[in-house]
Amino acid sequence: MKSRILGAAALTASAALVLSGCAGSDGGGEGAPIKLGSVNTISGPATFPEASEAAAAVFDQVNAEGGINGRQIEYKATDDKADPATATASARELVGSDEVVALVGGASLLDCEINAKYYEQEDVRSIQGIGVDPGCFNSPNIAPANIGPFNDTTLTMLYGSEELGLENLCVLTSVIGSTGPAYQAAVDRWSEITGKEPLYVDDTVPYGGADYTPYVVKAREAGCDGVVTNNVEPDAIGMLKAANQQGWDDVTFLMLTSVYSESFAKAVSNSAAGVYVPAEFFPFTEDSDVNADWKALMEENDITLTSFSQGGYLAATFMVEVLKSIEGDITRESVNEALANMDPIENPMIAYPYQFDKIAAQDFQPGGWPVTLKSGTNAWEKAADDWLMIPAK
């Protein structure tokens, strides 16, 4: 079992998530800093600041304990603002100008989709804290710490149909960029596993919509007993409120890890027959030793406890273990070799061993831990005693 990093040194979001330095991809020689970076959506329509904050906290702690064989880690997190041009520029700043040896701990709406080919061209690897867009899951150079929203979709449908016994699932999808085919493939995978079909699929649900009543009314009139949706937190709250206004209290909502937060739980007073989510990491709302080191580090650095900060923490700890395994100078080339030859890392915070090449090739068995939010509770709780796994192909 891999050891986890304890403690923390001071780091704040007001520092703009930047620990900058000058080490190049050639490693800069003995004693030079180890340069790492990440592209993130920190501002824009949906933001993920906790992932890179958590990664920075891990690296800060490693530095406080003496670094990697005496070498300090210098970590720079850029903000792509959910803008393709800015995402492109951010990647070129880190990989081309700063010459990072690897990317780690990022979370972006579009980094992978925009920059995957560039990362392959420049032969640089990325351990995303949270993979979001389809490009994060089909590149040999990118291996996220999380299973992603598309595996999440298959998992939440499996839990609804096979564990809760729901018979009429309706899929309401918000398509952002090129995500439509990936979400449809996730639904198709559920059908292949179960031999079942959703009652209907609607991929016209707006992102950031003002009123979800028309979609709720259609689903209710169709006879859905479960609504599968990839809504992010504000939209998911709007979907639930629309159901409440229609008096639809016997429908189950099957959602993704993006809504698994304490703020979401506090904002929802009526969750109908329940909201169910396959948490991508061990449920952070549980009082457990599994998350103790992560929780202590986040609390000491005032970083919000979410699945996103779990992902950033894990990505950084995986990278630290890989860096420690390298004998000799740490360069982009030696990091790539170490990632290619790494032993699987076992960690109870995830359902599967982490091994870069297998994760990048999606040659592993994804799993999540079902959690539920029941009406009137304002608190998440475990809905299962173990990981729910997608059956191997």
Element (DSSP H or E) covering residue 314: helix 307-324
Listed residue (345, 346, 322) closest to 335, CA to CA: 322
Task: Decide whether 13-147+285-362 matches 149-279+369-389 in CATH topology.
Answer: yes
pLDDT in tens, 38-67: 999 999 877 889 999 999 999 999 999 999
pLDDT of residue 11: 30
- CATH class assigned to 149-279+369-389: alpha beta
Residues contacting residue 85 through CB under 8 Å, at least 6 positions apart: none
Residue 15 scores a pLDDT above 70:
no
pLDDT for 30 equals 62
| Predicted confidence (pLDDT) at residue 28 exceeds the cutoff of 90 | no
Cβ atoms of 149 and 307 within 8 Å: the answer is no
38-52, 68-82, 194-208, 296-310: range with lowest mean pLDDT: 38-52
Q: If you average pLDDT over every residue of the chain, what do you get? A: 91
Position with higher pLDDT, 21 vs 195: 195
- Domain locations in the chain? 13-147+285-362, 149-279+369-389
What integer is the mean pLDDT of 184-199?
Answer: 98
Question: In whole angstroms, what is the distance from residue 171 CA to residue 191 CA?
Answer: 13
Which residues, in sequence order, are CB contacts of 28 under 8 Å at separation 6+? Answer: 22, 35
How many whole angstroms separate alpha carbon 329 and alpha carbon 190?
Answer: 46
Cα 342 to chain centroid, rounded: 22
∠ CA 126-130-135, nearest 5°, is 60
Give residue 251's pLDDT: 98
pLDDT range class, residue 307, cuts 50, 70, 90: very high
Q: Look up residue 257 and give its DSSP letter.
A: G
**Overall average pLDDT of the 139-159 stretch:** 98
Closest among 186, 230, 185 to 205, alpha carbons compared: 230
Is residue 309 pLDDT above 50, yes or no?
A: yes
* pLDDT at 367 (0 to 100): 98
* CATH number of the 13-147+285-362 domain: 3.40.50.2300
Q: Can you read off the two tokens belonging to residue 7?
A: 């403690």
- pLDDT for the residue numbered 140: 98
Query: Is residue 26's pLDDT more than 80?
Result: no
Structure tokens at 54: 């958590």
d(CA 276, CA 190): 16
At 277 the three-state DSSP class reads strand
